[in-house]
Each structure stands twice: as structure tokens, then as C-alpha cells.
Structure 1
């Protein structure tokens, strides 16, 4: 028996099309080389000798580029096609990676980091749109779940490799990351056909600005994006507020690394199986459950932490992340018109980009002014409120989806 086929079936990936698996493998290769992001701040402060404030500026510019990349990448995926946006974005990102690694002054590094965020993230909405193009609607949640799973698997392997490379020289991180990104682009160009749906005969030509703005004019879609943004704000608290809190509670950096490793371990171990369970629930129920688990998990950090307690808290909010990750993109794919899948996925990814930029500042402000318990209890309240919001808007979205099914019978049969 083919061991690869056996593994695919065990992960719940049987029946998905070849093009999806090309994207899946390419994503894994790319994430295996995801060396720069987790070490960028250390590179700037230790290798380049920049102050914390200067490093913060560079990282913020990188995040700003990523925020702009989401709607731009989505629009390009709809306008020029998934394949060229994917390959071109990955190749441009590879070049920006090398430019960042070989820049030697603060202004040059700042510009390069912005371009890295902009060019390096263009491909994400195109991947999400391509998955919606080639995967049958009934299997989309499963497909997005497996993609989320392999992203985390690759990143978990990349972290220790990056640490090893960093001891040999930080520039190697940029070179290796650029190589894997470039290879993913080549993989797409050679093996992935254009998946963008053909334009309907007689359809009036649309403006580029109209494509960019259409998702923002869709009230049902924006109502869905609001709790997604709120939960993203919570997830990104683990980048600054959580390590600061756990350090103040007496946990060492080694203990913090052990605590946070629970996130990756649980995602790799449980994602394929939990996706099967959530596939039997209404999507609004799954999203509400994700909100509650995320809120309660971060709320547990309000209590004095031992390592086991902190690990339990991380485990609870990780379950929320696992539940949400396959369901939310499948909702986006259903709400988006076929010709605007990239634009809708771009706005969805922009919510995460905005949250990654805003969360450290908001969390730090609350932590500094009101203290740790207030921050984490506030996170719990926001998570539970987001879960309740998902249930409150479920009826409106259900009616919208049912109306769309009359126009597009091929749509997902998933219940909202």
C-alpha cells in the first residue's frame, strides 16, 4: 500500500484534487523555510545593533506592508489570475527577503522590510481563492483545515532549524527563507493551472476600485468579519502581552517556550480530527464555540500561573483556534461571488494583518495602565462576546447563503 496515500487518508485528505495537494506541499516547503519572521527583531537588535525603538519601527513597517498586501493580493488574484499572483508574489517576496538581508542602513532596511511585508504576503489570498476554486464546496472546510495544519507543522519544524542557522549567521536565515519561497513559486508556475472561474457571458466589466471596495459594502460579510477581527486581537496577545505577563508571574524564558509549544503540538496532533467533528455542526455553532474557547483560554491567564496552569490556558485557546481555522475561510468562500473570491479572501486576511499590528499596542496599553488581570478578563469578555455575535448574525447569513444557493446550486451544503 502506498504510504503517502495511507497518510493522506489518515489525515482526512482523501478525495481532494491534485492541484490542492500541489498547493499543500508547496505551502509546507515554504513554511519549512519560514526563518525570518520569528527572528527579525533579534536580527535587528543583536546583529545590526539597532535600538528597541528602531527595531519596533521596522517590524511595524513590515506589518503595515502585510496589511496592504491582503486586499491588493486578493484584487490581483481576481483581475490577473490566481497562478500569476501566486508565483509572482512568491518570487517578489523572495527578492524582498534578500533585499532585507543585504541592506545595511536603517532607512534601507525599513524600506526593504515594508516591501517584504507587501510582496511576501500577496500570495495568501490567492491560495485561499484557488482552494475555493478547485475543492468541491462540501470539502472546503476540510481542505482549509489541512492547509492550516501543514502551515503549523512546517513552522514547528522551521523554528529549531532557524535557531541553528542563526548561530552560523543571521544572513543565512534570509537566504534560506528566500530559497524556499522561490521554490514554492516555481512549484506553482510549473504544476498549478489557472483556477480562476471563467467570466460569465455578458457580464459588465468592473472597475479595479469597485473590486477592492465590494467586500466593504457587503453588510453580511462585514458582520462576519467583525468577530474574526476581535478573536485575532486575542490570538496576537501571545506575541507581547502573554510573555510579559508570564515573566512577571515568575516563569523563565525556557518555561515560556515550553508553555507556548502546547499551541503547535495540539494543532499538529488534533487539527485533522477536530475538523471532522466540526464538520457535523452548524458553522455558526462552531464559530461561537471557537469564540468562547478562545476567550476562556486567554481569561485563564488572569490567574497566578504555574507552568501546568499556563499550559492548560494555552491548550484551551488553541482549541478555539483549531475550531475556527477551517470554518471561517469556508464561510468567506460561500459569501464571495465567484469572480471576487480573491478580494473577499483578501479582506479576511486583512483582518488578521490589522490585528497583528494593533494587538501588541492595545494589549501593552491595557497591561501598563490597568494591570494583567484586567487585560485577560477583558480578553475573556471579548471572546465570549464574539461567540455570541456569531450566533446573533447566523440567521441573516443563513438567509443570504440560502438565497445564493438558488443562484449557485454548486455552493456548499454546510449549514450556518
Structure 2
């Protein structure tokens, strides 16, 4: 028991109470992550949309998220983390519920765009708040890893439940998703104070997360060449990763697998993160961020590339194992790296730009994946994912020296 207490103190200790409130809210929110993973199946199955149309509609979620992330980051720096997060979560929950009642392609498309915009408005503010609350670089990586762990714990539960609920009522999925989002807003309102650094406060030292060069205080994230290169690379990673939203379920359905099977296979992703991420945390932390991200690119590309040669549920599950380990090496490291590269006064905008790359990928990947499945065939889609993953890995290794120089490490 003493050893267990020491281990828990080592892994969980030293993080402030407000951080744990954000952690709990993220867990609650992810327990209701029902709509996005099943949106393509809902549109093709319940609404009878062609695959290409469904892919285009799902892409609108990502289009909304692109602009939402940029605005959310700006509001987080100008208005505050707390107000931005609460507003985004409350409006996002309402928009997801409205999507469940939408009928007809124009209404569904408009509701999807609105839901994608409003549902992602909170994210840069939440990530900036984590960076504000946890300034030590080692603890910060652990904090982002724990947030990522909580998100996957929730999703692993949500996907299994949603697969069975979807057989009876898709509307219930939308309602539950909205309810958990609103619950997160309530947690922020009750337990999370404003964390935004005061205007005019002295900049933090690079070791405390202000990794920008002198003069960066007058510039935004898109004028930071090192950071822009990271954004382009992250888009490539996210483009491959988001093929699990449309291309993967459609490909599985084409090979006779049910929505419940898709839910079980993809739930393996969250379950593996829950099991493996705490064990892998130390190993990942020992690696230079660029090398950890390169490993993530190889494994993620290989995981999706495996679908070019398998059509069984076990084969899809094996691919999930590979790209899940890629996630474990990549996503927490990337979030912590963004926090370190950002000056303290611009954390919201840097996190917003970073989150926008996921929105851009979520916009581009579904339509591109659906089009490629129809016109090029599944093997081309999955081999393309493998190629992009390898390009991403090479780019990470090439960018490492400039990032290490920026952060002052040798």
C-alpha cells in the first residue's frame, strides 16, 4: 500500500485543485462523446444520405471548428479562459441537441456547421488554462497526459454504450452528448477561477513555458516560423487520424460489420489509452518531443495502413492498437510543446492555432476519405495514410533542432 501511495503521489501529486476540476469536466464531457464518431453512420443509415454527401456534411463539423478554434483562442487571451469555456460549452451543448432534430440536407448541414463551431469554442481556453495553472515543464507534460487519459477513459465508455443505444434511438445520443457538455460548463462555472495572466505582467522564463523569442510579444502565432512549421506537420498527423471518423466506419460497413462492431473496435482505442498511457508516460517523457512525435507518425500511419490488407474485425482492431500507441506518443507531447513554444500572454491564440489544425483536418479528411473510397478504392486510402505518416515522422526529425534552439535546450 505504501508503494501504491508513493506511485499515485508521483503520478498525480503537485497539480492544483482548479486543474482537477478541468480534468473532471473533461471526463464528464467525454463520457457523452456520442455524436461525432457516429455521425457518418447516422447520416447514411437514418437519414439515407449517399456516402459522398454524408462525408461532405461531416466535413462541415471540421470547417466550423477551424474558425471556432481561432476565435476561441483570441477570446481566451482577450476576455478570459473561464468566460470563453463556459460560453462555448453551453452553446455547444445546445447546438448538438439542435442537430439531432434537424431534417433535410440543408438543415442538417447548417446544424452540423453550427455544432462544430460552437462545440470547439471552449477547447483553446481549456488548454490555455492548463498551461496557466501548471508552469513546470515536467508537470505540464504530465498534466496534459492526464487530460488526454481522462478524455479517452470517457470515450472508451461512450463508444461502447453509443453503439447499442444507436440501434434504438439516435436522438438519445444527441441528447446525452448535449447533457454532458452542459455539465462540463457547470463544473467550470462552479470550480474553475479565471487563470489568464494579468495584462502587463512580466513574461515567463522559457523554462516556465514562455518559449517565444524576444519580439514575439508583438507578433501572433502565424508570424512564428518555427510554430507554423509545427502547425503544418500537425495537420498531416490529424488528417490521417481523422480517417477513423468516416473512411473507417464506411469501409467496415462495406465489409459487413455493424455499427455495434465499429463501436467495439474503436472503443479499443480509448481502453488502450487508459491502460497504456500511465505506463508509457515516463518513456515518452524521456524522449525529445520531436523524436516522440516521429514515433507517433510511424505508428499511426502503419495502423491505418494495415487496413489496406485486412477486412476482418480482428484486423481493424490490430490497426487500432497501432494508431493508439501512436496517439500515446503524440498528442500529449504536442499539446505540451505548444504550451512551451507560446509566450504566456498569447497562450490562448497559440492553442487556438494548434486546435485549428485539427479542425482543418476534420474538415478535409472526411470528404477526402469518402471521395477516395469511392473513386480510388480502400487500399489507396489506407496506403496513402501510411505514406503521410512517414512524411510527418521525417518532418518532425528535421524540425527538432530549431525547436530545441527555441526552447534553449541542447
Pairwise TM-score range, normalised by the shorter structure: 0.7 to 0.9
Aligned match of 1:252 in 244, 252, 257?
A: 257
Q: Is contact 1:75–1:211 with CA below 8 Å preserved after alignment?
A: no
Q: Does 1:281 align with 2:293?
A: no
Residues 270 and 252 of structure 1, relative CA distance in 2, 3 Å threshold: same
Aligned-pair CA distance for 1:100: 2.8
Mapped to 1, the partners of 2:386 and 2:230 lie a distance apart of 19
Offset from partner CA, 1:123-161 (integer Å, 9 cap, x none): 011111000000132211111111111111111212343
Aligned to 2:407: 401
Aligned to 2:211: none
Aligned to 1:262: 268
Mapped to 2, the partners of 1:98 and 1:310 lie a distance apart of 31
Q: Does 1:192 align with 2:192?
A: yes
Aligned to 1:207: none
Q: Is contact 2:162–2:263 with CA below 8 Å preserved after alignment?
A: no
Mapped to 1, the partners of 2:163 and 2:33 lie a distance apart of 12
Normalised to the residue count of structure 1, the TM-score between the two structures is 0.84
Residues 163 and 389 of structure 1, relative CA distance in 2, 3 Å threshold: closer
Residues 23 and 212 of structure 1, relative CA distance in 2, 3 Å threshold: farther
Aligned to 2:278: 272
Aligned-pair CA distance for 1:257: 4.7
Mapped to 2, the partners of 1:252 and 1:229 lie a distance apart of 29
Q: Does 1:145 align with 2:150?
A: no
Aligned to 1:161: 161
Mapped to 1, the partners of 2:394 and 2:141 lie a distance apart of 22
Aligned-pair CA distance for 1:324: 0.4
Aligned match of 2:321 in 315, 324, 343?
A: 315
Residues 304 and 28 of structure 1, relative CA distance in 2, 3 Å threshold: closer
Q: Is contact 1:366–1:375 with CA below 8 Å preserved after alignment?
A: yes
Gaps of 5+ in 1: 204-209, 403-414
Offset from partner CA, 1:361-402 (integer Å, 9 cap, x none): 333444444444443333222212211111111111111111
Aligned to 1:75: 74
Q: Is contact 2:40–2:246 with CA below 8 Å preserved after alignment?
A: no
Give the secondary structure class of the aligned counterpart of 2:286.
coil
When the two chains are superposed, the root-mean-square deviation of aligned CA atoms in Å is 3.1
Offset from partner CA, 1:292-325 (integer Å, 9 cap, x none): 2222222333324554444333212211111001
Gaps of 5+ in 2: 204-215
Residues 188 and 287 of structure 1, relative CA distance in 2, 3 Å threshold: same
Q: Is contact 2:62–2:363 with CA below 8 Å preserved after alignment?
A: yes
In the alignment of these two chains, the number of paired residues is 395
Q: Does 1:95 align with 2:101?
A: no
Normalised to the residue count of structure 2, the TM-score between the two structures is 0.86
Aligned to 1:38: 37
Mapped to 1, the partners of 2:184 and 2:310 lie a distance apart of 44
Mapped to 2, the partners of 1:275 and 1:223 lie a distance apart of 26
Give the secondary structure class of the aligned counterpart of 2:195.
coil
